């Protein structure tokens, strides 16, 4: 194994995951699943209202049909690994939205400006919260970021 892969860093790289093509990204919001190991876990499959996520065995990596996915983000708050995100790059040339799972306090509100964080927890840019959805105790928080940052931003921190 390479020394800089996720097993030694805990950080997923773009080449580790399956991502939709540009055409699909332009169509509307779509799921990005950053779950790459054969672990025994399947709530995402049961959650998807469009059956866009499938597995033969519980230890399979989720198999995603990007055409069937409607980007509803229900799976974002159901994934026990908090490894599912939804990106929407369909509505602007400069901006994208990304929905991230969030289980900390305080919880941001729509319209708030927050710090967008990358996979190492480093600040990437300031971003506006466009939507806050709660399922159980987990929030799915949608923020708007610069298009260049959509593959880097995976978390957020409330500015106090």
Partner 1 sequence: MSERRIFEHPILDFDRGNEFYFDFEGKKVKAYEGETIASALYADGLRKFTESKKLERPRGFFCAIGKCSSCLMSVDGRPNVRTCVTPAKQGMEVKRHGPKAKFPEIDIGRGKDRVEKEIEIAIIGGGPAGLMAGIVAARNGADVHLFDEGDSLGGQLVKQTHQFFGSHKEDAGTRGIDIGDDMVEEAREVGVEIHTESKVLGYYPEKKVAIEANGRLEIYDSEGIVYAGGAVEDYLSFENNDLPGVYGAGGVQTLMNEEGIVPGEKVLMVGSGNVGVIVSYQLLQADVEVVEIIEALPEIGAYQVHASKVRRAGVPISTSHTIKKAIGEEQVEGAVIQKIDENWNPIEGTEREVECDVICLAVGLSPDVGFLRQADCEMDYVPELGGFVPLRTEEMMTTNRGIYVAGDAAGIEEATVAALEGKIAGAAVYEEIKGETEDTKKSKKEAQQGLKQMRKGPYGEAPRQGVKTCTVDEEVCG
Q: Which is nearer to partner 1, 9 or 63 (CB)?
A: 9
Q: What is the sign of the dihedral through the CA atoms of 146, 150, 153 and 154?
A: positive
Choice from 26, 104, 131, 148 touching partner 1 (CB under 8 A): 104
Q: CB burial class (10 A; 0-12, 13-18, 19+) of residue 52?
A: buried
Q: Which stretch binds partner 1 (CB under 8 A): 21-29, 63-71, 104-112, 144-152?
A: 104-112
User: Of residues 105-124, which lie at the interface with partner 1 (CB under 8 A)?
Assistant: 105, 107, 117-122
Q: How far apart are CA 38 and CA 47, in angstroms?
A: 19
Pairing of the two strands 155-158 and 138-146? unpaired
Residue 48, preceding bond cis, omega within 30 degrees?
Answer: no
Contact positions with partner 1 (CB under 8 A) in 4-63? 6-12, 34-43, 45-47, 57-59
Q: How far is the CB of 79 from partner 1 (least distance, A)?
A: 8
Q: Which residue has the tokens 């105790």?
A: 137
The distance of closest approach from Cβ of residue 26 to partner 1 in the complex, given in angstroms and rounded to an integer, is 27
* Residue ranges that bind partner 1, judged by CB under 8 A: 1, 3, 6-12, 34-43, 45-47, 57-59, 78-83, 103-105, 107, 117-122, 136-138, 154-155
């Amino acid at each position: 194994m390479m020394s800089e892969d996720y097993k030694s860093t805990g950080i997923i790289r773009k080449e580790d995951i399956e991502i939709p093509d540009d055409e699909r990204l332009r169509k509307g919001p779509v799921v990005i699943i950053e779950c790459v190991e054969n672990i025994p876990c399947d709530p995402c499959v049961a959650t998807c209202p469009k059956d866009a996520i499938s597995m033969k065995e519980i230890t399979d990596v989720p198999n995603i049909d990007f055409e069937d996915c409607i980007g509803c983000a229900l799976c974002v708050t159901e994934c026990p690994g908090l490894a599912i995100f939804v990106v929407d790059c369909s509505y602007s040339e400069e901006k994208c939205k990304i929905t991230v799972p969030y289980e900390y306090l305080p919880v941001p509100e729509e319209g708030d400006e927050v710090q967008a964080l990358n996979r190492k927890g480093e600040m990437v840019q300031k971003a506006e919260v466009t939507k806050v959805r709660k399922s159980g105790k987990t929030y799915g928080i949608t923020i708007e970021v610069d298009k260049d940052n959509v593959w880097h931003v995976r978390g957020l921190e409330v500015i106090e």
